[in-house]
A and B are shown apart, each in its own frame.
Chain A
Amino acid sequence: MFYRLSGTYHTSYRADRRLWKVPTDRWLVVALLVLGAFAPLYVSPLYLGSYVLPWVIWSAAALSLTLLMGLAGQLHFGFAAVMAIGAYASIHLTRAGIPFEISLLLSGLIAAVIGAVFGGAALRVKGLYLVMATLAMQYLVDWVVVNVPWISGGAHATLRTPAVSFLLLPLDSLAARYWLALGWAVLLTVFFMNVKRSSFGRALVAIRDKDFAAAVIGVDPFRTKLMAFFTSSFMGGVTGAILAFCFYRAVTPEQFGFNVSIQLVAMVLVGGLGSVIGSWLGAGFVLLAPIFLTNIISALAATGWVPVSQNFLSHLPLMIYGAMIIGFLLLEPLGLAKIYDNIRKYFLVWPFRHARS
């Protein structure tokens, strides 16, 4: 239909490895980029600030986590702690007078080092035991942040982010903050896709799929896993800093609690492990589905179509949301990314039913 494709034929190895081999996909990406870049012009500030901006930032967070969980296969249930390290580090660094651009990088590095240290300690174990070890990281970091006044500024303190500018763009307007977040998310997206088609990504997947076979062709398992923890924590740390500066604009320890880690894992799982588009879709679903469900149901209740008590009404969206997650995972365990892929493949060969892949 709109793909108009009779096959893809490459004449060089480089062309064979390009990211979007189908022209329609390339146009789609350009269109989405343009739509994203000009969003502040046509989306009302309310929607931009409370729906689109968090979606973009959490997509970046989900991408960071899925590098570790999806590609390298290392479960991490304490990723909010990594983001917390990035957020607090960036605030303290900018307050100390370091330029924002550099403090972003440094906060990523600090998160990466701490994340890799925990990862290195945790890597002696696998699977569920690794989950326990990363949970320990979550609680340890939480505890340190809350109980060290030098970091959190006191037991129930809120640290406001100082006014900064990124390169020449002062982050005082919503649009500027959105553009910074979008730029970071796009950078991570491109990075992730490049990882998948280069030797680093292959080594990660090899470790995930069969660690002994990876070792026998020369992949150092420990070093590769550590690199995965380092890279993923760097991405998570910077994302945490951007979350603090662009969205919350003030940080408290509760913003990076255990439930946030679980929510991130949910984004990664619902979207599809190790998938780029899955991270975007998963983050969007987990963030926005409860909001939209609440709006729809309260609108229906206002018209009198849902004759239930107010008490039940407030729980109904959550019930539907939970049922939707279970439904998705039952019908398509590979997540929203796979659903998108199925639809795309259907139209790719339409009006025929099967493609010679």
Chain B
Amino acid sequence: MTDAVLECRNVTRRFGGVVALKDVSIAVARGEIFGLVGPNGSGKTTLVNAITGFYPPQQGQILLDGQPINGMKPFRIADRGVARTFQNVALFHGMSVLDNILMGRHIYMKPNPLASLFYPWWAAREETAHRRKVEEVIDLLQLAPARDEYVDVIPLGLQKRVELARALCAEPRLLVLDEPMAGMNQEEKEYMVRFILDAQDALGLTVLIIEHHMDVVTALCDRVLVLNNGQQIAQGPAREAIADPRVIEAYIGKPRDAA
């Protein structure tokens, strides 16, 4: 596969004696939605943390558009165009929804005390220019009614959408979503799927998504990787991969165990 946005080659990550990831290799093609599936503790979030630089892999390589990014600090990887959301919402509670989403534009801004001092002549231009992009994303995700609320007073479903908006504003080459539907009801999940597909459509995104809900996975993902105990047990088109006997075994056990 030549046009891979993200490529992981034999990524291994250990924590002491625990092997959280063992020889995991994936290639996410441009414009694709790639799913990461697996039971709890199978290493999905560890893989995402390896990609975004929080837990650099001890072995193997991670390439973004052919450039190695393993071992880089998280903010440098963000600068290269990887945006992510977190399983537990990680918004900035001291800021409004708008400011949180504006933070997503940070890699394009040049924060500087002097710019702030001469605000009307300097920083205001930056603010207005980036505000346009932010408002596009706010429109896309239908966040306008919550724009001026503080993020800690809005419901969880909305917070997750704000986090998605923040990631989208970075215009990422690769968007990594860590369980964007966690804690949502069926209706909110369906909305979220719609928002992700809309955003992909409008912005031409490449997405790596961790998800537990199989209905969501089959609705969204072109291909998936199934992990179990840090090892990849199946990879391929969504429906085929999750129908693999080893995947079913990892999730609900072997037929003879049921007896």
Contacts and interface: CB of A to CB of B under 8 A. Distances in A.
Interface of A: 13-14, 17, 191, 194-195, 197-203, 205-206, 208-210, 212-221, 224, 227, 231, 274, 357
B127 A212 contact: no
B78 A216 contact: yes
B75 A199 contact: no
Contacts of B75: 214-216, 218-221
B195 interface: no
Given A210-B91, A216-B74, A221-B75, A200 B113 contact: yes
A341 to B, nearest CB: 13
Contacts of B91: 209-210, 213
CB-based closest 4 A-B pairs? A213-B90, A218-B78, A218-B107, A194-B119
B148 interface: yes
A111 to B, nearest CB: 15
A54 B259 CA distance: 83
Given A195-B113, A198-B115, A231-B113, A217 B103 contact: yes
Nearest to B83: A217
A95 to B, nearest CB: 29
Contacts of A227: 111, 113
B124 A17 contact: yes
Contact of B117 (A17, A191, A218): A191
Interface stretch (B1-9, B13-21, B92-100, B196-204): B92-100
B84 interface: yes
Interface in B86-126: 86, 90-95, 99, 102-107, 109-113, 115-117, 119, 123-124, 126
Contact of B92 (A14, A210, A224): A210
Chain A CB within 10 Å, residue with most, of B84, B92, B95, B126: B92
Contacts of A191: 113, 116-117
B32 to A, nearest CB: 22
Contact of A217 (B73, B128, B170): B170
Given A201-B116, A209-B94, 9 more contacts: A14-B128, A17-B127, A199-B102, A199-B109, A202-B102, A209-B93, A212-B54, A213-B92, A219-B106
B104 A217 contact: yes
Nearest to B107: A218
Contacts of B111: 198-200, 202-203, 224, 227
Contacts of B126: 198-199
Contacts of A201: 116
Nearest to B74: A215
Contacts of B148: 357
